[in-house]
Amino acid sequence: MSAAKAGDTVKVHYTGTLSDGTQFDSSRGGEPLEFTIGSGQLISGFNDAVNGMSVGDSKTVNIPSDQAYGEHNPEMMQVVPRSAIPTDIELEVGMVLSANNPDGRTLHFKVVEFDDEKVSVDGNHPLAGKDLTFDLELVSIG
């Protein structure tokens, strides 16, 4: 039986949990995740964990934050004037706002707090600074 390697397109069922056991995502009960190993589509720790698995293999991997979504970066926290937010948007703490940067990429910011004058937003990925655990099962190599 062959092992998955860089360049292979694979399908993987997974369940992702935080260090406290809270589940944050899963493909179970749905379609498996399809990606090409080494393509940069996924976090490096997940990609590396699947590399070398054979169809039918299952394993649990712990991925430190630096191999996942990185450390929480305080520089990604910003305060913007309330006037910079369109007036038709009803702000709520926890909601995600989107904006385009100068090169056209879409950036996402979570509203942390706001008042009539300013809005505090966090541009970090929601899983930044967190160590992740994945239960993986390689479904196919193809």
83-88 long-range contacts, Cβ below 8 Å, gap at least 24?
84/119, 85/119
- Residue 93: CB partners within 8 Å, gap ≥ 6? 111, 112, 113, 114
Name the burial class of residue 121, with classes exposed (0-12), middle (13-18) and buried (19+) by CB atoms within 10 angstroms of its CB. Answer: buried
Residue 4 lies inside a defined structural domain of this protein: no
Q: Which domain holds residue 110?
A: 74-122
Can you give the pLDDT at residue 139? 97
88 and 63 in a common domain:
no
43 and 24 in a common domain:
yes
Dist CA 17 CA 10 (whole Å) = 21
18 and 66 in a common domain:
yes
104 and 91 in a common domain:
yes
Check which CATH number belongs to the domain holding 66 and give it: 3.10.50.40
Q: Percent of the chain beyond pLDDT 70?
A: 99
pLDDT tens, residue by residue, 64-122: 999 999 999 999 999 999 999 998 999 999 999 998 888 888 889 999 999 999 999 99
44 and 16 in a common domain:
yes
Would you tell me how many other CB atoms lie within 10 Å of the CB of residue 46?
Answer: 22
39 and 54 in a common domain:
yes
50 φ, ψ to 5°?
-75, -30
Dist CA 119 CA 83 (whole Å) = 9
Residue 1 lies inside a defined structural domain of this protein: no
Number of domains in the chain: 2
Check which CATH number belongs to the domain holding 106 and give it: 2.40.10.330
pTM metric for this prediction? 0.81
